[in-house]
């Protein structure tokens, strides 16, 4: 939670902050603190939050304050159906400087936000005064993320995307029958259950599983399932290197 003591002294004019968070207590507390610093505040209030409703509200605030510097203080975990990261680029196009205000520590997820145009990342555990310093710096045209850190995070993101591409390439070498068996494995079925359900011999199913493991370069069905799930989500758990496929 943000610290409750606001930064002192400086009076600001022409700064508007749109708070996009699904926790009403967070938004009300933060709005109160921002008001003490002469920052006009708007809150994305339509529930449940959706990309369409947030962007509609964001556009209205910009239209009614054309001379203001507009900031979006954006959380990432908005709902089961809405990832805040998906709003970074659209909000920037509407006219906002986007600050990711979150407790998320996943560097790949945060790097994606930077790649999409986020001006900065701010952890909710930091003092409120630091947030105001960041807003002032961005409003003054300064970079809030050191170039070395930004470059490092973007490099990590690219490496991660390369890993996902390799995963998908490895999976593309599976035959239709092998993909069907892998899908059944992901549902929790074992070889015997797959054989009964598909009316295929257990020998054939075990042969398919053998070639799935060989082509994906893994040693267990669990690893093969992880690869398939990671390729589908575009997220490799923990940022670890995926298994090396033994297939050209």
Write the pLDDT tens digit of every residue in 182-208.
999 999 999 999 999 999 999 999 999
CA 154/CA 114 separation, integer angstroms:
8
Q: Which residue has the tokens 């799935």?
A: 212
pLDDT 10s digits, 17-27: 999 998 888 89
CA dihedral 168, 173, 176, 181 (to 10 degrees): -70
pLDDT 10s digits, 125-183: 999 999 999 999 999 999 999 999 999 999 999 998 888 888 899 999 999 999 999 99
Query: Which residue, among 116, 73, 115, has the nearest Cα to 93 in the 3D structure?
Result: 116
Q: What percent of the chain has pLDDT over 70?
A: 90
pLDDT higher than threshold 80 for residue 110: yes
The structural domains of the chain, with segments of one domain joined by +, span 15-145, 151-239
pTM comes to 0.77
Spell out the residues 6+ positions from residue 29 whose beta carbon is closer than 8 angstroms to its own. 1, 2, 4
CA 52/CA 55 separation, integer angstroms:
5
Q: Is 105 exposed, middle or buried (0-12, 13-18, 19+ CB in 10 A)?
A: exposed
pLDDT, residue 123, reads 94
pLDDT higher than threshold 60 for residue 122: yes
Residue 78: alpha-carbon gap to chain centroid:
11
Domains 15-145 and 151-239 share a fold: yes
Q: Is the CB of residue 84 less than 8 Å from the CB of residue 78?
A: yes
- For 61-87, what is the mean pLDDT? 93
Q: Number of H helices and number of E strands within the chain?
A: 10, 5
Q: What dotted CATH number matches 151-239? A: 3.40.50.2300
CA 170/CA 167 separation, integer angstroms:
5
Q: Domain 15-145 is classified in which CATH homologous superfamily?
A: Response regulator (3.40.50.2300)
The DSSP 8-state label assigned to residue 140 in this structure reads T
């Amino acid at each position: 939670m943000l610290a409750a003591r606001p930064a002192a002294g400086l009076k600001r004019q022409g700064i508007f902050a749109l708070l996009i968070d699904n926790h009403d207590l967070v938004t009300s507390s933060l709005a109160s603190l921002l008001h003490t610093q002469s920052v006009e505040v708007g809150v994305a209030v339509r529930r449940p939050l959706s990309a369409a409703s947030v962007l509609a509200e964001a556009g209205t605030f910009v239209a009614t304050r054309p001379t203001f510097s507009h900031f979006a203080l954006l959380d990432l975990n908005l709902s089961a159906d809405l990832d805040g990261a998906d709003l970074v680029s659209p909000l920037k196009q509407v006219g906002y400087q986007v600050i990711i205000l979150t407790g998320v520590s996943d560097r790949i997820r945060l790097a994606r936000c930077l790649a999409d145009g986020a001006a900065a990342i701010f952890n909710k555990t930091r003092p409120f005064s630091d947030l105001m310093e960041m807003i002032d710096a961005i409003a003054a045209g300064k970079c809030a993320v050191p170039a070395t850190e930004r470059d490092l995070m973007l490099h990590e993101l690219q490496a991660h995307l390369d890993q996902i591409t390799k995963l998908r390439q490895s999976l593309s070498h599976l035959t239709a029958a092998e993909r069907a068996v892998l899908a059944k494995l992901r549902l929790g079925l074992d070889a015997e259950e797959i054989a009964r359900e598909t009316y295929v011999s257990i020998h054939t199913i075990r042969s398919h599983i053998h070639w799935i493991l060989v082509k994906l370069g893994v040693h267990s069905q669990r690893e093969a399932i992880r690869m398939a799930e990671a390729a589908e989500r575009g997220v490799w758990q923990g940022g670890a290197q995926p298994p090396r496929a033994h297939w050209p």
